[in-house]
A = this chain, B = another copy of it.
Amino acid sequence: MKKNTKNVSICPVSEALKVIGGKWSLQIINEIGLQKRRFGELKRLVPGISEKMLIQELKSLVGFGILHRKAYKEIPPRVEYSLTEYGVKVLPIISQIQIFGNELINKKEN
């Protein structure tokens, strides 16, 4: 495994989980997909999320370079979020997790 400057191992899985490890990030990324989504739109699309968690996650993902944020200078405000070229690389993870999640659901039904 790779080491950092202090010669401590860096685990790719751990590094990834710092970015997409929370309760909501994957759901948000999934709803954005290859589109542009407004804040209010995401609020509706991600069921159960609070406004606080939504902005918190959006900010974090923007900070990690996963999301791009475009604010229009209008009143009332309009902000659009979309995946960056890095963000797009999260989508295959989601696909795999969905496959597994569906297996779990089918398994439960027995």
Binding site for B on A (CB under 8 A): 2, 9-17, 19-21, 23, 26-27, 30, 47, 64-65, 86, 89-90, 92-105, 107
Give chain B nearest CB distance to A68 CB in angstroms: 15
Assess the A100–B96 pair: CB atoms within 8 A. Answer: no
Give chain B nearest CB distance to A97 CB in angstroms: 5
Assess the A101–B13 pair: CB atoms within 8 A. Answer: yes
Chain B residues within an 8 Å CB radius of A94: 13
Assess the A101–B15 pair: CB atoms within 8 A. Answer: yes
Chain B residues within an 8 Å CB radius of A101: 11-16
Assess the B17–A23 pair: CB atoms within 8 A. Answer: yes
Chain B residues within an 8 Å CB radius of A103: 86, 89
